[in-house]
């Protein structure tokens, strides 16, 4: 809390007289209107203030003023803790709680942002000053320049440069603010460097020393017409391992990806009315599973590493366990259905589409839920778990985007080879399946060779740079992918890599091996690949690979597995698959 300390060189009456003597044209300061005030929220990733749209800001401001009026009418002896109504903002995704100055996610418990009422701003950046600072500055400003009810008036004019008077100074702990005229208010930092610069410029004869020009009222008036479009598509974002160690991680990753999509939409498709919303799905923290047995049997040696393994890699063992796999699937399925029904209840009659964006182990769990795979569970499920797993998902899936997915390995270990091309993901369960991975990701595996072994010699579809050529991407067809030498191959960058492995003597078309799944299409050195025979081509490509911007040195492997969330190529790819007409 900042408390202004007033410093006036002369008596208050003299200051008022100085203001009145500055006469060119009369302009008075009036209290800011709701349209001039803008409310902001500070997101949880880069901690920057972002303005609410005009529709949200006006509704928040009106509720704020009503609440302030209510408080001012109450006696001091009256309990002022009456509840404040929640304002639904950001197109129905968040609630604003004015009494706590928070913006809280409706669908994701734990996701909340600070909010702030902006009245005074730094010129240029238009970042708002903190609430208590702005409150003091606004009070002083109105005291100096508001028209007096007695008939007195204050006037405004830019003073001549040779006098450049300071009409008033207000001190704060880390800066002070000088008023030179109604439209000339400057903030000066109290740090030593800033004081030195002001001293130098003063000695050099500059009338106006260095400082930050302040602006009153936001640069763009808030209007009710400035509001989000209706939601066309919702995406449930599902995490993989490690969430037990950091329950807020999926929220931060979803925010990162959402910001990438929003930026791309504004840059490349500013006139589009399509709207997509992302829902982080945190399924791990609600699961008890072993009841603490693993923690109890963990030795105290190398505690930090043991804890890391118990809260991350252990999730894979839990899911492959015949005791706990069903509970994991039921936990994720229950959360997905809960979020969907909660959204549907707030948007009655909604006719949009639903897709899922899953990462790592999350891809495997989502796949098993969609296809109804029960697994070799040896323990009878609890009644609650059994009830959840008969219900299945209560909504159709348009697209399943898998990021850094080990799904094909799980499938290869369950069955030697699918009997036909539709066994992996029938279109009746999910219209499109995308297996997206980075070359350096040690967890990601290809899907296409699982269906047709001939695809082990065909490169995955390269995801072009976001925006593509002149803002357009083109998806390569299987016929143009037959010759790997004609397409991008990271193997070309790694032939001299001391860590590379020579697989020239390994055969990928005989037998079925995990090695073929892992390295298929990476270091193929067997000459011209055999073209696919008629009937072998897949109806749709499944494997999509990112540019090898990180290289394939093993030092990059961990970064590659988590780089998808902030990758603009992935975000552009997902956005244009959700709304294919954007590129036409």
In this predicted model, what pLDDT tens digit does every residue of 124-161 receive, in sequence order? 999 999 999 999 999 999 999 988 754 444 444 444 33
Instruction: With cut-offs at 50, 70 and 90, classify the pLDDT of residue 82.
Output: low
Q: Is the pLDDT of residue 193 over 80?
A: no
Tokens 């499109």 identify what position?
432
* Catalytic residue ranges: 360
Q: Please state the pTM of the whole predicted model.
A: 0.74
Instruction: With cut-offs at 50, 70 and 90, classify the pLDDT of residue 507.
Output: very low
Which residues pair with residue 176 across a beta bridge?
171, 188
Q: Where in the chain is the domain with CATH 3.40.50?
A: 233-469+538-582
Q: Which residue has the higher pLDDT, 421 or 160?
A: 421
pLDDT of residue 524: 36
pLDDT digits (tens, 9 = 90+) for 215-253: 999 999 999 999 999 999 999 999 887 655 556 788 889
pLDDT of residue 468: 63
Q: Is the pLDDT of residue 356 over 70?
A: yes
Q: Is the pLDDT of residue 23 over 70?
A: no
List the structure tokens of 257. Answer: 């990806």
Q: Is the pLDDT of residue 487 over 60?
A: no
pLDDT digits (tens, 9 = 90+) for 447-473: 999 888 889 899 999 999 987 654 444
Which CATH architecture fits 233-469+538-582? Answer: 3-Layer(aba) Sandwich (3.40)
Choose from 265-274, 449-458, 530-539 the range with maximum mean pLDDT. 265-274
Report the DSSP pairing between strands 120-122 and 212-216: antiparallel
CA 252 to each of CA 88, 110, 238, 556, 565: distance values in angstroms, whole numbers, following the listed order: 22, 11, 12, 22, 9
For 239-333, list the strands marked E by DSSP: 276-281
CA 508 to each of CA 124, 447, 458, 519, 530: distance values in angstroms, whole numbers, following the listed order: 60, 15, 12, 10, 12
Measure the CA–CA gap between 195 and 199, rounded to whole angstroms: 6
pLDDT of residue 246: 59
Measure the CA–CA gap between 256 and 93, rounded to whole angstroms: 17
Which residues pair with residue 168 across a beta bridge?
179
**Mean pLDDT across the chain:** 76
Q: Which residue has the higher pLDDT, 165 or 75?
A: 165
- SS3 percent helix, strand, coil of the chain, rounded to 5, is 35, 15, 50
List the structure tokens of 233. Answer: 């598509």
Measure the CA–CA gap between 279 and 251, rounded to whole angstroms: 9
Q: Is the pLDDT of residue 43 over 80?
A: no
């Amino acid at each position: 809390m900042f408390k202004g300390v007033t410093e006036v060189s002369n008596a208050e009456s003299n200051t008022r007289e100085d203001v009145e003597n500055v006469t060119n044209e009369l302009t008075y300061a009036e209290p800011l209107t709701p349209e001039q005030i803008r409310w902001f929220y500070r997101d949880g990733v880069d901690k920057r203030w972002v303005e609410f749209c005009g529709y949200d800001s006006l509704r928040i401001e009106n509720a704020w003023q009503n609440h302030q009026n209510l408080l001012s009418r109450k006696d001091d002896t009256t309990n002022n803790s009456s509840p404040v109504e929640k304002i639904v903002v950001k197109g129905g995704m968040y609630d604003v709680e004015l009494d706590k100055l928070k913006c809280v996610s409706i669908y994701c418990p734990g996701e909340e942002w600070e909010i702030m009422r902006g009245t005074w701003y730094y010129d240029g950046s238009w970042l708002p000053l903190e609430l208590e600072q702005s409150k003091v500055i606004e009070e002083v400003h109105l005291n100096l320049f508001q028209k007096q009810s007695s008939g007195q008036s204050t006037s405004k004019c830019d003073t001549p440069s040779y006098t450049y008077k300071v009409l008033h100074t207000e001190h704060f702990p880390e800066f002070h603010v000088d008023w030179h005229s109604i439209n000339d208010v400057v903030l000066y930092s109290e740090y030593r460097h800033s004081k030195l610069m002001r001293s130098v410029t003063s000695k050099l004869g500059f009338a106006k020393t260095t400082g930050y020009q302040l602006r009153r009222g936001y640069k763009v008036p808030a209007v009710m017409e400035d509001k989000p479009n209706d939601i066309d598509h919702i995406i449930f974002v599902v995490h993989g391992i490690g969430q037990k160690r950091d329950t807020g991680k999926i929220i931060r990753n979803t925010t990162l990806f959402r910001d990438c999509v929003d930026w791309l939409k504004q840059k490349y498709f500013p006139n589009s009315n399509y709207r997509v919303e992302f829902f982080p799905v945190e399924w791990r923290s609600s699961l008890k599973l072993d009841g603490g047995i693993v923690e109890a049997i963990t030795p105290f040696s190398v505690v930090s590493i043991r804890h890391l393994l118990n809260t991350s890699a252990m999730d894979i063992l839990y899911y492959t366990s015949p005791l706990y796999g069903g509970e994991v699937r039921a936990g994720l399925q229950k959360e997905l259905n809960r979020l969907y029904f909660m959204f549907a209840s707030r948007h009655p009659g909604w006719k949009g589409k639903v897709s899922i964006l899953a990462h790592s182990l999350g891809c495997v769990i989502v796949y098993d839920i969609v296809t109804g795979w029960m697994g070799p569970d040896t323990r009878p499920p609890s009644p609650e778990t059994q009830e959840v797993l008969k219900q299945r998902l209560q909504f159709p899936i348009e697209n399943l985007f898998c990021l850094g997915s080990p799904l094909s390995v799980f499938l290869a270990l369950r069955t030697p080879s699918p009997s036909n091309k539709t066994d992996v993901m029938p279109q009746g369960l999910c219209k499109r399946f995308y297996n997206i991975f980075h070359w350096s990701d040690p967890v990601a595996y290809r899907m296409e060779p699982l269906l047709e072994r001939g695809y082990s010699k065909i490169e995955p579809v390269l995801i072009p740079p976001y925006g593509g050529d002149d803002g357009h991407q083109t998806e390569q067809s299987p016929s143009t992918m037959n010759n790997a030498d004609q397409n991008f191959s990271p193997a070309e960058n790694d032939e001299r890599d001391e860590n590379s492995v020579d697989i020239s003597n390994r055969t990928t078309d005989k037998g079925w091996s995990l090695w073929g799944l892992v390295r298929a299409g990476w270091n193929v050195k067997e000459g011209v690949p055999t073209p696919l025979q008629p009937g072998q081509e897949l109806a749709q490509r499944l494997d999509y690979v990112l540019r090898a911007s990180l290289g394939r040195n093993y030092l990059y492997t961990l970064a590659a597995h988590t780089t998808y969330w902030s990758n603009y190529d992935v975000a552009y790819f997902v956005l244009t698959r959700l709304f294919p007409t954007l590129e036409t």
